[in-house]
Amino acid sequence: MTVKKQMAAKWKRYEGFAGFVLVVAHDEGRMQRLRESAAEFQDVALLFTTFDRLRSGTPEPWVDWCGNKSAV
């Protein structure tokens, strides 16, 4: 199974979940790839960030699949 298919299967497991799914990536590149892989699962409340963003104290370190910023 390819990585793309593995991520699609992982996002699919969250379909129907009522809360937020918080995804923390090691770096910006990985976060962007994860966001792109989640684009077809827009009904799931996925929020993405990196460890650096969390450490920086940024008021809105989280972004959704289309780039909207948020604080949790």
Q: What is the CA radius of gyration of the chain?
A: 12
Q: Quote the pLDDT of residue 34.
A: 92
CA distance 53 to 15: 27
Give the tens place of pLDDT for each residue, 23-70: 999 999 999 999 988 888 888 889 999 999 999 999 999 999 888 999
Instruction: Quote the pTM value.
Output: 0.86
Q: Does residue 9 sit in helix, strand or coil? A: helix
Write the CA distances from 22 to 28, 31, 49, integer angstroms. 15, 12, 8
Q: Which of the pair, 72 or 48, is modelled with greater confidence? A: 48
Task: Fill in the DSSP letter of residue 35.
Answer: H
CA distance 31 to 65: 10
